Structure 1
Amino acid sequence: MSFTLALRNIFRQRVRTAMTLGAIVFGVTGLILSGGFVQDIFVQLGEATIHSQTGHLQVFRKGFLERGTRQPQDFLIEDPHVVADRIQAIPAVKDVAARLNFSGLLNNGRRDLAIIGEGVQPDKETRLGTFLSLTAGRHLTDADAFGMAVGQGVAHSLGLKPGDTVTLVLNTIEGALNTLDFEVVGVFQSFSKDFDARAVRIPLAAAQELMLTAGANVLVTTLHRTEDTRSALAQVRAAIDPERLEAQGWQTLADFYEKTVDLYERQFGVLQLIILFMVLLSVTNTVNMTAFERLAEFGTVRALGNRKRDVFRLLIVENLLLGLIGATLGVVVGALLALAISAVGIPMPPPPNANMGYTAVIRLLPFTIVSAWLIGFLATAAAAVFPARRVSGTSIVDALRQGT
C-alpha cells in the first residue's frame, strides 16, 4: 500500500518531483563526469610515465635507487643478458631492454654541456617509448653504431639538429677519461621537461665501449598489460637473485605519480562532499516545501486512523523512489555525456614540469558509476528523514488547520 501510494504521490507532485529529480541527476552526472575525468588523468599519466621512461618494471643492483644516479659504475649487472632471458620467460612480460647509465660532457665544437645519458638497445627502446615523440630526425636503430638521440632541451642548449656531429666525454668504470664522436640522428621530447633538458641516448654497445664494461645498470621490462604489474613484479622477484638484485614497479620508480594521485584523490573527495551537500540541501528544501504544502493531506490521513509511523514511512518511501529514479537517470545521463565528450576529446595543456599536452576523455569505470549512484540514492534518502519526522510529529489538529 505504501509503495503504490508513494508512487502515485510522486507523479501527482510533478513540479516538485521534477525539481528534486533535477538536483539528483545533476549531482550524479557531475560525480560520473568528474570521477571519469580524474581516472583518465591517472591512466594517461601512468601510461606516459611507463612508455617514455620507466617501463612497467625495472631490475637493478641493490642500492641503485639510492646511490646509482651518482655512481652508476658501482652498480653494474655483470650478466644482463642472462638475467634478461630469465625475465623474458615470464608469460606476462612483453620485452626486456638493458640500459647503461652514465654522465659526462657533450661538446658541439664550441661549448660543453653536462648531460645524463643512457646506453640503450635502440629497437627495443623504440617499442617501449611510444610516448616519446620526435621533434626532428628519427629514432635510433640497431644499425646506428655511433648514432645519438638528444632531448629537446639539449638540442636547444647546444643548437643541435639531425646530422650534426658531437663529442661525448665521460669516465670509464676505472675512472679514466674516454671520448667518442657521435652523429645526432634525432631530437626527442618525453613527458618530463627536466629529463629532456639533460638527456641523451646512444646505442648500448657504444656506451659499453666508452665505459669499458660489458654490464648494464637497469633491465627495463614492459608487460602486455599494465594491470598485470603487481603479479608480474612478484614473478620477476622470484626469478632473480634476491641477494644481488632487486625489482621495482613503475609506481615506486615514479614517486611523482603517487603524489599526483594523492593530490587529485583528495580534490575529488572534496568535490564529492560538495555534491553530496548540494543534493542533500536541494532535496531537503524540496521535501520540506512539499511536506508543508501537503500538511492538510497528512492530517486527513492521520484523522482516518493512520499512525505517525505510517506518515513517516510514506514520506521515506516516496524519497527512496525519487532517489532510485533520480540516481538511475543520473547514471544514464552521465554515461551518455561521458561518451559524447570522449568522442570529441578534451584538449589539455601540459601538466606541471611536462612538455606535452594530451587529449583527455571521460572513463566510465564501474566503481565510479556505482559510487555516484549510491551517493545520489543515499543522499536523497537521508534528506527525507528530518522533514518526515517533523511532518509525522505534527498534531492532527494543527495539520488539518493548514488546509483552511
Structure 2
Amino acid sequence: MTQQHTLRTAWRNITRQIHRSRAALTAIAFGVVAMVLAAGFIDWNLRFGRDNTIESQLGHLQLMKPGFLENGRADPYAYLLPPQGEAEHAALQAVKGYRFTAPRLLLAGLASSGEVTLSFIGEGVDPQAEAGMQSGLRFPQGRNLAPGEPNTAVVGRGLAQNLGLEIGASLVLIANTESGGISAVEAQVVGIFESISQAYDDAALRVPIGLARELMRTEGEHLRLVYLDDVGSVPAALDQLSRSLPATEVQIVPWTELADFYNKTAALFAKQVGVIYVIIAVIIVLSISNTMTMMVMERVGEIGTLMALGIRRSGIRTQFLLEGLILGLVGISIGLVVGVLLATLVSAVGIPMPPGPGMSWGYDAGILLSARSLLTAAGIALVTTLAASLYPSWRASRLEIVDALRARQ
C-alpha cells in the first residue's frame, strides 16, 4: 500500500469506530489540558515569587565587597563599598537592559516606640533611585518612602504590630557605631508594609539612606542592587560586569545565589510537576492501550484478509501504529486548544490563593502559558500514545492467517 492509502485507511478505521476513538481522544485531550493547566499554574506562582523577591529585596544583581556574604553581617563597617566611580558607572551603563542601581546600607539594632523596644533588621534605601521600580512591597497602611523626606520610615507589619505603631507615630532607632559607641535617630512612620516573606516583615524596616548613614555615622553602602529590564538578561550582564570590574574590589552576585527559599520552592514544584506528568502519562497509556487492543480483537477477520491479500506483518504494525499516531495528534490538538482557552479564562478570573508558607497575604493566581509547557505537554502525550500503540500493533501483526480468517466466519 502507498503511504497515502495507508494514511487514508487509518483515518477511516478511526472514524468508523467512533465510540472507541472518542474515548481515546477524550483521555488524550484531558491529559494535555491537565498538564497545561498544572504546569501553567506552577509557572505562574514561580514567576510571581521570583519577581516579588527580585523587586522587593534582592535586585537582579548585587555588587558588594568580596567576602561580604560570609562576614559582612558580623563586621558591617569593614565591608562598606566606596562611592560609585566613573568606571563602575560606565560599565553598568554598557550593560544591555540596564535600568538603574539602588544603594542599600544594611542596619541592625533596636527600635523603640513608647515603652516597647525590639531588635530590628533594616535597610537604608534611596527613594529617588527606586521611585521608578515596581515595588514588591504591599502597603495595607500608609505608603512607601518618598524622595525629599529624610526622617521617615516604613515598617514591616509584624514589627509594627509588636511595637504598637500606627501611621504618623514616632520611632527611635538605636545602633552601635564603628567606634563602639551608641547612635540614635528618630523617624516618623509613613507606611506599614507586607513583603512576600512574613519572617522578614516581623523584623524589618526601611529608612532613607541618608538617615541610615547618620545612624551608623558612616558613608557609603554595603550593597548596590542592579535592576535590569528582564530576568533573562542576568547571565549576560553578570558575565559582562565580571570582565569589566576588578574582582579584588567588587563581587558580583546574581539573585539566584541569594534566594534560597525561592530555589527550594522551585525544586519542590519541579518534582510535583514531574509526578503529575507521570500520572497523566500512565492514564493515557492505559486508555490508548485498551482502545487499540479492543480494535485488534474486533478486527481479527479483517487483519486475516489483509494478510491473505499479501500485506506483510510490518504493514499491519504500521497500520495500527499510524492509527495510534492519528489519535494522538487529534487528541493533542483538541487538548491544546481547550487548555489555552481554559488557561486564558482562569487567568482573567483569577484563582484566590491563601497565604503560602512564610507569606503574610493571599493573592489571585493565574495560569502562565509558555511555549515550553505547551510543547512538553504535547510531547509527553504523543510519546505515551505511540508507546501505548506498540503492543496492540505487535499483537495484530503476530496473528496467524488461518486463525484470523476462521474468526471472520
Q: Conserved in 2, the CA contact under 8 Å of 1:52 and 1:128?
A: no
Contact 2:110–2:117 at 8 Å: present in 1 too? yes
Q: Which residue does the alignment assign to 1:377?
A: 382
How far has the Cα of 1:174 moved from its partner?
2.0
| Cα distance per residue 1:126-155 (max 9 Å; x no partner) | 433522111212221222111111111111
Match of 1:317 in 2: 322
Amino acid at match of 2:34: G
Q: 5 Å matches for 1:189-338? A: 189-338=194-343
- Deviation for aligned residue 1:80: 3.8
Question: CA contact under 8 A between 1:84 and 1:96: conserved in structure 2?
Answer: no
Which SS does the other structure have where 2:109 is aligned?
strand
Which segment is superposed worse, 382-391 or 126-135?
126-135
Name the aligned partner's letter for residue 164 of structure 1: A
Instruction: Please give the alpha-carbon distance, in whole angstroms, between the structure 2 residues aligned to 1:306 and 1:298.
Output: 9
Select 1:177's aligned residue among 157, 179, 182. 182
Query: Are residues 1:143 and 2:148 paired?
Result: yes
Once the two structures are superposed, what CA deviation does each residue of 1:178-197 show, in whole Å capped at 9, x if it has no partner? 11121111111111111111
Q: Which residue of 2 aligns with 1:65?
A: 69
Tell me: CA distance 1:387–1:106, structure 2 relative to 1, closer, same or farther (3 Å): same
Residue 98 in 1 paired to residue 107 in 2? no
Q: How does 1:40-189 map to 2 (within 5 A)?
A: 40-80=44-84, 85-86=89-90, 88-90=92-94, 91-128=96-133, 130-189=135-194
The one-letter code sitting in structure 2 at the alignment partner of 1:298 is: I
1:157 to partner: Cα distance? 0.4
- Could you list the per-position Cα deviations for residues 13-54 of structure 1 after superposition, in whole angstroms to 9, with x for gaps in the alignment? 111111111111111111111111111111111001011111
Relative to structure 1, is the Cα distance of residues 56 and 83 closer, same or farther in structure 2, using a 3 angstrom cutoff?
farther
Amino acid paired to 2:50 = G
- In structure 1, the gaps of 5 or more residues are none
| TM-score, normalised with respect to structure 1 | 0.96
Q: How much has 1:119 moved relative to structure 2?
A: 1.1
What's the CA shift for 1:166? 1.8
Q: Do 1:326 and 1:377's aligned partners in 2 also have CA atoms closer than 8 Å? A: no
Instruction: Tell me the CA shift for residue 88 of structure 1.
Output: 4.3
1:33 corresponds to 2:37: yes
1:13 counterpart residue number: 17
Cα distance in 2 for residues equivalent to 1:179 and 1:84:
33
Shift of 1:94: 0.7
User: 1:165 and 1:402 mapped to 2: Cα distance?
Assistant: 93
SS in 2 for 1:243: coil
| SS across alignment from 2:130 | helix
TM-score, length-scaled by structure 2: 0.95
Q: Secondary structure at the match of 1:178?
A: strand
Q: CA–CA distance in 1 between the matches of 2:145 and 2:387? A: 62
Gap change, CA 1:64 and 1:173, over 3 Å in 2: same
Q: Which amino acid aligns with 2:403?
A: D
Residue type of the alignment partner of 1:232: A
Sequence identity of aligned pairs in percent?
A: 37
Q: Superposition RMSD on alpha carbons, in Å?
A: 1.6
Name the amino acid aligned to 1:8: R
Deviating more after overlay: 179-188 vs 234-243: 234-243
Where does structure 2 lack aligned partners over 5 or more consecutive residues? none
Structure 2 equivalent of residue 346 of structure 1:
351
Other structure's SS at 2:238 match: helix
SS in 2 for 1:122: coil
- AA in 2 matched with 1:12: R
Matching residue of 1:2: 6
How many angstroms apart in 1 are the aligned matches of 2:143 and 2:380?
51
CA, structure 1 residues 120+110, in 2 after alignment: closer, same or farther (shift >3 Å)?
A: same
Amino acid at match of 2:114: G
Separation in 2, partners of 1:117, 1:84: 26
Q: Secondary structure at the match of 2:145?
A: coil
Query: Offset at 1:110?
Result: 0.3
| Whole-angstrom CA distance in 2 between matches of 1:350 and 1:16 | 45
- The one-letter code of the counterpart of 1:49 is T
Once the two structures are superposed, residues 342-385 of structure 1 have per-residue CA deviations (whole angstroms, 9 ceiling, x without a partner) of 12121222221011222222122111111211211221111111
Q: Which amino acid aligns with 1:29?
A: V
The farther-off stretch of 168-177 and 63-72 is 63-72
For 1:383, the aligned partner's letter is A
Structure 1 residue ranges, 4+ long, deviating more than 6 angstroms after superposition: none
- Hey, what's the Cα distance between the residues in 2 that align with 1:153 and 1:390? 67
- 1:265-311 C-alpha deviation (Å, 9 max, x unpaired): 11111111111111011100111111101111111222223222222
Tell whether the 8 Å contact from 2:37 to 2:367 is kept in structure 1 after alignment.
Answer: yes
Q: What per-residue deviation string (whole Å, max 9, x for no partner) do you get for residues 99-145 of structure 1?
A: 11121111112021000111111233343352211121222122211
Q: Give the count of matched residue pairs.
A: 404
* 8 A Cα contact 1:102 1:116, kept in partner: yes
Amino acid at match of 1:176: G
Q: Secondary structure at the match of 1:124?
A: coil
Q: Which letter does structure 1 place at the counterpart of 2:52?
A: A
2:242 alignment partner AA: R
Between the aligned partners of 1:125 and 1:396, the Cα distance in structure 2 is 79
